[in-house]
Amino acid sequence: MDIQITTVKGVQLIQPIGRLDGDSAPSLGDAMRDALESGNTQLVLALDSVDYISSAGLRQIVNAYKRAQKQGGDLRLSSPTERVMAVLELAGLDRTLSIFPTDMDAIDSY
Amino acid sequence: MGEVRRLVIAARLEEVRDACDFVVEAAEAAQLDERAVYHCQMAVDEALTNVIEHGYAYQGDGSQIEVTCHTDLNRFVITITDNGPAFNPLEHESPNPAQELEEREPGGWGIYFIRKLTDDVAYQRVGDKNRLILYKNLPTAIQIGGPDEGGEDLFPTRMVNGDVIIYPAGRLDSNTSPMLEQTLKSQLEQGHYWMFVDMAAVEYIASSGLKVLVAIWRRAQERGGNVFLSGLQPRIVEIFEMVGFDMLFEIFPDLDAARAARSQQD
């Protein structure tokens, strides 16, 4: 899957594009792990271009979140579509992860 | 039963997308609404990913998975068949979304989603194959019973020792069969898989009524229950014999005989 990573105000903004399913999720997992290994552990995962997410995608998000926390950083989510938000809620992740309506809200929260 | 659509994919994650598209098309043709179509797509994605990641791990290429879709009375039915080692995903405990992330097991979410997104799930081991069956109610299932608030037009029922007795009456034709269906279905949904249908007051049964009885009988059987019929009037018996349903159902002269047969089976 296509993943764009940019640094905005010292925060790494990760933007996957397309479907986050069992096939594509590992590449997002790799991208987030690489991002954390750069030493900058303040991450925002922008979900506005993700039209579909399965439990495989959630698993990568949870793994990256745990890893970021361990390193003293955080993984915050931004701009999920209604459908993706419904899946996050289904798994109860909306109560653990910080989710912001826009990318800038998430970036400014650091 | 409607037309059966069938797709075979190689057991590889790259192929799951094709199966999702296939299911979306079938679900749309079955006139599920957009949300329900999406739920079907997700449930199939999770189910196939499970099979591929667990069932076929380390087996490499060559294995195939069959996906079929059809409508059965008032449900859209997706069947996923693979020939991996026996694996019943429904036996595994679902994770708890209220639990703290740190305490959560990494796996198990796929089947949790499948349960949440479908109306029913069943697993069967058929020969050397695993079969997972996903059910999604068709929108008409909710509207059955007429334009007035659903749930009012039901035949009388009575609970006895955890078994339910249903008393349909009059003509069971295309006008009233939905009411019978609604009555029986609501019992199944409440977990009452043993049902006694007392037919003593039924004067006539059309194919729509027979169809309902068979569909419910099949679902009760899948759940380890049964549907016992009793008190059939001679002309109803005749119809049953004509279509061979007398071989299918357990039929008793009256309700007491049906109840007695049930208690002997326990």
Kindly determine whether residue A22 and residue B101, on different chains, have CB atoms separated by under 8 Å. no
Q: Is residue B48 within 8 Å of B58, Cβ to Cβ?
A: no
Kindly determine whether residue B52 and residue A22, on different chains, have CB atoms separated by under 8 Å. yes
* CATH superfamily of domain region A2-108: STAS domain (3.30.750.24)
User: Between A52, A59, A65, which is nearest B109 by CB?
Assistant: A59
CA distance readout (Å), B160 to B90, B97, B194, B198, B245: 30, 37, 11, 13, 26
Mean pLDDT over the full length of chain B? 83
What are the φ/ψ torsions at residue B228 (nearest 5 degrees)? -100, 135
Quick one: pLDDT at residue B150? 40
Helix, coil or strand: residue B134: strand
Quick one: pLDDT at residue B248? 81
Q: Is residue B82 within 8 Å of B57, Cβ to Cβ?
A: no
Distance CA B41, CA B27 (A): 9
Looking at B139-143, B214-218, B259-263, which range is the least confident one? B139-143
Would an 8 Å CB–CB cutoff place A86 in contact with chain B?
no
- The percentage of chain B sitting over the pLDDT mark of 70, rounded to a whole number, equals 85
Distance CA B253, CA B231 (A): 5
Q: Is residue B111 within 8 Å of B89, Cβ to Cβ?
A: yes
Please give the CATH architecture assigned to the domain spanning B145-265.
2-Layer Sandwich (3.30)
CA distance readout (Å), A85 to B1, B52, B257: 36, 26, 54
Instruction: Look at residue B56 and tell me whether its pLDDT is greater than 70.
Output: no
Instruction: Look at residue A17 and tell me whether its pLDDT is greater than 90.
Output: yes
Distance CA B129, CA B84 (A): 7
The domain segmentation of chain A, as residue ranges, is 2-108
Indicate the burial class of B32 (C-beta count within 10 angstroms; 0-12, 13-18, 19 or more). buried
Quick one: pLDDT at residue B69? 96
Which two structure tokens, joined as six digits, stand for B25? 């098309």
Q: Tell me, what DSSP letter sits at residue B139? A: T
Q: Do domains B5-140 and B145-265 have the same CATH topology?
A: no
Residues B196-209, mean pLDDT to the nearest whole number: 87
> Which residues are bridge partners to A91 per DSSP?
none
Q: Which among B9, B15, B17 is the top mutation candidate for probing chain A, defined by the most A β-carbons within 10 Å of its own β-carbon?
A: B17
Residue listed under structure tokens 């996923």: B80
Angle CA B247–B134–B39, to nearest 5? 150
The domain segmentation of chain B, as residue ranges, is 5-140, 145-265
ipTM confidence score = 0.73
Task: State whether CATH 3.40.50.970 applies to domain B5-140.
Answer: no
